[in-house]
Structure 1
Amino acid sequence: MHSRHDDTRRVVITGIGVMAPGGNGVKAFWELITSGRTATRTISFFDPSPFRSRVAAECDFDPVAEGLSPQEIRRMDRAAQLAVVCAREAVADSGLDLSAVDPHRTGVVVGTAVGATMSLEREYVVVSDGGRQWLTDHGYAVPHLYDYLVPSSFAREVAWFTGAEGPATVVSTGCTSGLDAVGHARELIREGAADVMVAGATDAPISPITVACFDAIKATTPRNDDPAHASRPFDSSRDGFVLGEGSAIFVLEEFEHARRRGAQVYAEVSGFASRSNAFHMTGLRPDGREMAEAIRSALDDARLAPETIDYINAHGSGTKQNDRHETAAFKRSLGDHAYRTPVSSIKSMVGHSLGAIGSIEIAASVLAIRHGVVPPTANLHERDPECDLDYVPLVARERRVGTVLSVGSGFGGFQSAMLLSRTGGAA
């Protein structure tokens, strides 16, 4: 067993799988976010007319077309289905022969903010007769209700698919879950508990209960007449985020393990840190101190100077307070370099998929390194004077990207920062 924080054990990403609004798979995702097109639209999963915010970024996901069996579709919530399909793409992309890997040295970490929301709400409507009965009749529930109740079923499904018999965990830290899940997987490899981790996050929260909850606190945009331009991070007219869904799953490997099998390497997970503001469930201090501390700590972990960051993949939710808070955090942690560094938010195009978005943003960050392109911030026409950095408005930018900083903020006060760095191609 290796000691904790063994600096000889570097962790790299060798496979990527993405299911996101606007196109299924890594290729379609990258084409969407570099084109500046948006996948935000009027909600189609249910009648949104009673709600304040009626827009969302939905995946065009068909589990039958993706090869899931009728039994798998019945057993798994939509979020679990998205994760399993992404895991399949990531493993295929990595070229890893799972049957040749020690299953006890292979683990799974899945992040999710709200678990099996869609299935839980659907089943509650059935057992309560549309909410009319206070005492519900469990006899009307599907046999898999327990799987919907416990988010650990997500990790189990991915572990079953991959044959992983090592550590299997669900991380649920609100909207930083996608970053924190990959950060935890990296830690398990560094400390010697595993050589391979299948890790990422998934959420499918577009349901009446979720929409009602965000309506109540006015966190989501009421820009219902123009769904395609409703998500407007850093713009002076921004008025809330657009709910989304999706998943991104990665194959992470110990660097020498990847090198021995001649794997392609997308990037190294070179630094990670997480902090809590211990302040408010949904509120953020304007000075960005906690996020700045997470960024500084991630830089220390990676032994990198602020000047090495070539691109910042922002949380950029499009709420008034987040975008100001985050801008302040970049200045506080990076100093003058913040003004020289391109920043963008892909939530402008694929919405905010809660726990999943952190992993989807890791995918965007890694692909920016691979292709030398910084995705734009769509719908950014008039910058908020308090948001005075280079937010790459409207059009993608070619740029050599060696290191990306990706950050997230989560309800509950969670602040996470991850650094992803080029390693030079094949391991």
Structure 2
Amino acid sequence: MSRRAVITGVGVVAPGGVGREAFWKLLADGRTATRRITLFDPAPFRSQTAAEADFDPVAAGLAPRQIRRMDRAAQFAVVSAREALEDSGLDRAGLAPERIGVSIGSAVGCTMGLEEEYVLLSDAGKHWLVDHTYGVPHLYGYMVPSTLAVEVAWEARAEGPVALISTGCTSGLDAVGHGIQLIEEGSADVVLAGATDAPLSPITAACFDAIKATSPNNDDPEHASRPFDAERDGFVLGEGSAVLVLEEKAAAEARGARIYGEVVGFAGRSNAFHMTGLKANGREMAEAIKVALDRAKLDPTAVDYINAHGSGTKQNDRHETAAFKRSLGEHAYRVPVSSIKSMVGHSLGAIGSIEVAACALALERQVVPPTANLHHPDPECDLDYVPLTAREHRMDVALSVGSGFGGFQSAVLLARPGAVEYEGSGS
């Protein structure tokens, strides 16, 4: 008997508001959450803009011991997981803990905790040899990224498969893809899948400054993130988390769960080419899209909306445009495409899961989020990038794609409940 994965719960911590509804309102309104960095003094850096989450761990319901123990990224993940579980309506008392799995993605792990401890132990870099006894008791946990997944597992009382997926900026998509596979192969009946990153620290700013990847538009931070715009000058860093509750479809239907959508296809590819470079023809992303469509047994014309990676670099935006044309053919000119990074920035490994959450909400509400700040379209990006204003639009199938340093390319397909015939991979 084939097994299929559906989304029954969505939890989000994102710039512009904590929680699923605040996140969606920001997107539907076309507002930006990018601003001058407040988490540290950005004055020494070329790029001083980011999309910060207005997150208070106490207000979010975390206990003092959790706050003391967990890096900001782990706090985001746990709060997102709580909201997703509550949203799903699952009665965990009736679930065998060994049938609950966790798949969490992250690109840079506990960056903030690690940097804060290094600055303290080294006296702001003055000492090469440091006394580790001055470190927090949980410093080891900061150094092991899998602790992010462990924290979510503890929160969910999950005793099934637990994994941390780290594939750069596609981590969030790939973590969802891994969760789908756990459901389909029968390793779990419920999976908390998503990603988290809190990278807004001096070391991250310095790294991206060095390669001039981030926008230096410090005078107008609200409009610094401009995907597909001819005047764009780099991406804007962000932070956040999204966690989805994935369930086996028959079980979700049997308990009368509200289903946001069915995950009908996933594929990942690599370009084996360059750590940060992308081939202009978009072949690897196009291949991931084609394989995801093949697994879903869908024609390219079935895609009703594309949530683009849309980072706001010329290299990425042109690469993506070519990939959409290569994989969807003439249909690429008819399907609306948008980038929510224009509003919530690029939260590295977390953004893929945040974008899947946006797709799930878009399918449910039949509204396409806009690409904010798109006033002067790049002539080489000649598709329908939904500038400035959200759009009501009939959607049965949404495609979310990601592109990451190292050449990672991933694609996830979501379908509105009952909209397409899909047989699953079986087990």
Q: Same fold (TM over 0.5)?
A: yes
Q: Which residue of 1 aligns with 2:328?
A: 334
Letter in 2 for 1:343: V
Matched, 1:201 2:192: no
Q: Show CA shifts across 1:217-263 (max 9, x none).
A: 00000000000000000000011000000000010001011112111
Letter in 1 for 2:394: R
Q: Which residue of 2 aligns with 1:362?
A: 356
Distance in 1 (alpha carbons) for counterparts of 2:93 and 2:164: 24
Query: After superposition, where does 1:10-21 map in structure 2 within 5 Å?
Result: 10-21=4-15
Q: Secondary structure at the match of 2:292?
A: helix
CA shift, 1:11, in A, is 0.4
Pick the aligned partner of 1:395 from 374, 389, 400. 389
Distance in 2 (alpha carbons) for counterparts of 1:163 and 1:153: 15
Query: After superposition, where does 1:274-285 map in structure 2 within 5 Å?
Result: 274-285=268-279
CA shift, 1:281, in A, is 0.3
Q: Which residue of 1 aligns with 2:416?
A: 422
Q: Which residue of 2 aligns with 1:322?
A: 316
Give 5+ residue unaligned stretches, structure 2: 420-427
Distance in 2 (alpha carbons) for counterparts of 1:261 and 1:396: 34
Distance in 1 (alpha carbons) for counterparts of 2:17 and 2:69: 25
Query: After superposition, where does 1:71-110 map in structure 2 within 5 Å?
Result: 71-110=65-104
Distance in 1 (alpha carbons) for counterparts of 2:351 and 2:87: 20
CA shift, 1:382, in A, is 0.7
Alignment length (residue pairs)? 419
Distance in 1 (alpha carbons) for counterparts of 2:411 and 2:132: 43
Q: Secondary structure at the match of 2:168?
A: coil
Matched, 1:262 2:259: no
Matched, 1:41 2:35: yes
CA shift, 1:70, in A, is 1.1
Q: Show CA shifts across 1:260-301 (max 9, x none).
A: 211110000000000000000000000000000000000001
Pick the aligned partner of 1:353 from 347, 352, 372. 347
Distance in 2 (alpha carbons) for counterparts of 1:47 and 1:196: 42
Query: After superposition, where does 1:299-310 map in structure 2 within 5 Å?
Result: 299-310=293-304
Q: Secondary structure at the match of 2:173?
A: helix
Q: Show CA shifts across 1:188-241 (max 9, x none).
A: 111110010011000000000000000000000000000000000000001100
Q: Show CA shifts across 1:340-381 (max 9, x none).
A: 000000000000000000000001111110001000000000
Distance in 2 (alpha carbons) for counterparts of 1:150 and 1:277: 28
Letter in 2 for 1:132: K
Q: Show CA shifts across 1:368-421 (max 9, x none).
A: 100010000000001101000000000000011110010000000000001000
Pick the aligned partner of 1:169 from 130, 146, 163. 163
Give 5+ residue unaligned stretches, structure 1: 1-5
Q: Which residue of 2 aligns with 1:189?
A: 183
Distance in 2 (alpha carbons) for counterparts of 1:368 and 1:250: 15
Q: Which residue of 1 aligns with 2:292?
A: 298
Matched, 1:231 2:260: no
Letter in 1 for 2:269: R
Q: Secondary structure at the match of 2:204?
A: helix
Letter in 1 for 2:306: I
Pick the aligned partner of 2:26 from 26, 29, 32. 32
Letter in 2 for 1:68: L
Q: Which residue of 2 aligns with 1:288?
A: 282
Q: Which residue of 1 aligns with 2:306?
A: 312
CA shift, 1:137, in A, is 1.0
Q: Which residue of 2 aligns with 1:380?
A: 374
Distance in 1 (alpha carbons) for counterparts of 2:345 and 2:403: 15
Q: Which residue of 1 aligns with 2:213?
A: 219
Percent sequence identity over aligned pairs: 72
CA shift, 1:424, in A, is 4.0
Distance in 1 (alpha carbons) for counterparts of 2:326 and 2:82: 40
Distance in 2 (alpha carbons) for counterparts of 1:86 and 1:199: 10
Q: Show CA shifts across 1:92-150 (max 9, x none).
A: 00000112111111100110000000000000001111100010110110000011000
Q: Which residue of 2 aligns with 1:3?
A: none
Q: Secondary structure at the match of 2:154?
A: helix
RMSD: 0.8
Q: Secondary structure at the match of 1:336?
A: helix
Pick the aligned partner of 1:142 from 117, 121, 136. 136
Distance in 1 (alpha carbons) for counterparts of 2:359 and 2:214: 25
Q: Which residue of 1 aligns with 2:424?
A: none
CA shift, 1:332, in A, is 0.2
Distance in 2 (alpha carbons) for counterparts of 1:399 and 1:155: 36
Runs of 4+ in 1 over 2 A off after TM superposition: none
Distance in 2 (alpha carbons) for counterparts of 1:424 and 1:92: 24
Q: What TM-score do you get using the length of structure 2 for normalisation?
A: 0.97
Distance in 2 (alpha carbons) for counterparts of 1:146 and 1:388: 49
Q: Show CA shifts across 1:58-80 (max 9, x none).
A: 00000011111111001000000
Distance in 2 (alpha carbons) for counterparts of 1:400 and 1:340: 13
